[in-house]
Chain A
C-alpha cells in the first residue's frame, strides 16, 4: 500500500516543473514541500526554486535553510538502494548539479556548490547498473563544512574535501583536499594552502 501512495505523490510532482503565481517565498517553500516529498527528512525553511529531480531508493536527508536552485537545468539527487545522501544546514546548490550516492555522500553545513557540478560515489552517476552486471564498488564522499565548489567541478569517488576548502571551476577532485586550501586543476592540487 505504501509503495502505491508514494508513487501517487511522485506523480503529483510530475505535473509541472514549477509553481506559478504568489509571492516567491511562499512559492519556494510550498515547492520544497511538494518536490522534496520523496526525501526521508527535510529541515525547516528549506526552499527549492523550480523543480529538482529526486530519485530516492535509499535515504536522502536534507537539513534546514537549504536552497536548491533548479532554474535552468534541474538538480538531480539520486540515491541507490543502499545509498545515503546527507546534506547539512544552509547549503546552496546551484542548477544542473548531480548528487548521486550508491553508498554515502555527506555534504556539511554552509557548503556552496556551483552549477553543473557532479558529486557521485560511483564512476557513473545515476541509478546503477542494469541487473545482473558487476558493479564497480562505490567509495564514499565527504565534503566538509563551509567548502565551496565552483562551477563544473567533478568530485570523484573516495574524495574528501576539508572544511572551508575552495575548489576552482572545472576541476576534478580525486583524493583528499586539506581544510581551507584553494585547489584546482585536473586532478585538483593545492594552489594556495591555508
Chain B
C-alpha cells in the first residue's frame, strides 16, 4: 500500500463520513456527490465507486435506506436515489451512467408528496448491470441476472437471466455468449416490426403469431430480413414449424450455432 493509497482511503472515509455504516477496503475514484435528506446509507466492504470523469451521485430521502452490499463496483456518472429503499446485493457490478431510483422524480427534497410515489428497488447479488441502464421504481432484479447496456428496467427480472430493451425483456440466460445485444432474440422485435409493418415491436412471449400476419407475403418478408441481418437461410421445414415469434428467434439461433 503506497502513501497515495492511504491518502485516498482517508479522503474516501471523509467524503462518506455521514453514512450509517461503511465497510473496509473502500475505493473511490474522484469525489462522489452524496446528499442526505435524513436517510441512511449502508455500504459494505470493498465498494468501488468511480466519479471520474463524471461525478456519481447518491441521494437518500427522509427515512429512506440505501443499502449497498459487499464487493459492489459502480461506474462513473451513476445516479442512485433512495426515497424509500434501494438495495444492491453483494458482488453486483454496475456500469457507468446508470440511473437507479425508487421514486418517479428527482428534484426538490423534503416534499412529502413524493413519498407516495416510491416503490423499493431490489437488485440481487452477483448481477451485471450494463452501461446507461435505467432502473425505475418498483424494479426487482434477481440474483445473477444480467441487464444489457441501454436497457430500462421497470418490472421484475427473474434470477439468472439476461434481459435487454427499453422495458427490458428476457433474451436468454446470463453469461451465455448468445445473450448479447446482437443476438437474435434482442434484434428480432424491431426486425419483425419493420418487416411485418406493425405499429410497435411485438413481445416475443406473446403466444401464437396471428394468422393474418403469418401469410406467405409475411413469411417472405421476415425471411428476407433474417437473411439480410444474420446472413442465414432458414430451411422450409423449420419455417413450417414456427408457431410463435419466440420460435423464429430459436430457429435463427439454431442455424447460427450450426455455422
Contact = CB atoms under 8 A, between A and B. Distances in A.
Given A98-B76, A186-B149, 16 more contacts: A70-B53, A74-B52, A74-B53, A76-B53, A96-B53, A118-B96, A120-B131, A125-B75, A125-B95, A130-B25, A130-B27, A156-B130, A172-B132, A172-B150, A187-B187, A189-B229
B186 A125 contact: no
A127 to B, nearest CB: 7
A11 B92 CA distance: 32
Contacts of A79: none
B4 interface: yes
Given A53-B52, A123-B130, A174-B180, A7 B93 contact: no
B247 interface: no
Interface residues of B, number: 36
Interface in A128-156: 129-130, 133, 136, 152, 154, 156
Interface of A: 7, 53, 70, 73-76, 96, 98, 116, 118, 120, 123-127, 129-130, 133, 136, 152, 154, 156, 172, 174-175, 185-187, 189
24 contacts: A53-B52, A70-B53, A73-B54, A74-B53, A96-B54, A118-B96, A120-B131, A123-B93, A123-B95, A123-B131, A124-B95, A124-B96, A154-B132, A154-B149, A156-B181, A172-B131, A172-B149, A175-B182, A186-B149, A186-B165, A186-B181, A187-B181, A187-B182, A189-B229
A127 B29 contact: yes
A68 to B, nearest CB: 12
A96 B53 CA distance: 6
Given A156-B149, A187-B181, A75 B53 contact: yes
B166 interface: yes
Most chain B CB within 10 A, of A118, A120, A152, A175, is at A118
What 9 A-B pairs have minimum CB-CB distances, sorted nearest first?
A174-B181, A175-B182, A187-B181, A74-B53, A174-B182, A172-B150, A76-B53, A186-B150, A73-B53
Interface of B: 2, 4, 25, 27, 29, 46, 48, 50, 52-54, 71, 73, 75-76, 91, 93-97, 128, 130-132, 149-150, 165-166, 180-182, 186-187, 190, 229
Contacts of A136: 128
A133 B150 contact: no
B28 to A, nearest CB: 12
A186 B166 contact: yes
Contacts of B190: 185, 189
B132 A123 contact: no
Contacts of B229: 189
B184 to A, nearest CB: 12
A123 B131 CA distance: 7
A187 B186 contact: yes
A154 B2 CA distance: 34
A76 B224 CA distance: 42
Nearest to A136: B128
A7 B8 CA distance: 14
Contact of B75 (A75, A126, A187): A126
Contacts of A53: 52-53
B165 to A, nearest CB: 8
Given A7-B4, A98-B96, A130 B182 contact: no
A127 B52 CA distance: 11
B131 A118 contact: yes
A76 B30 CA distance: 12
A126 B149 contact: no
B190 to A, nearest CB: 7
A186 B147 CA distance: 14
A174 B151 CA distance: 14
A126 B186 contact: no
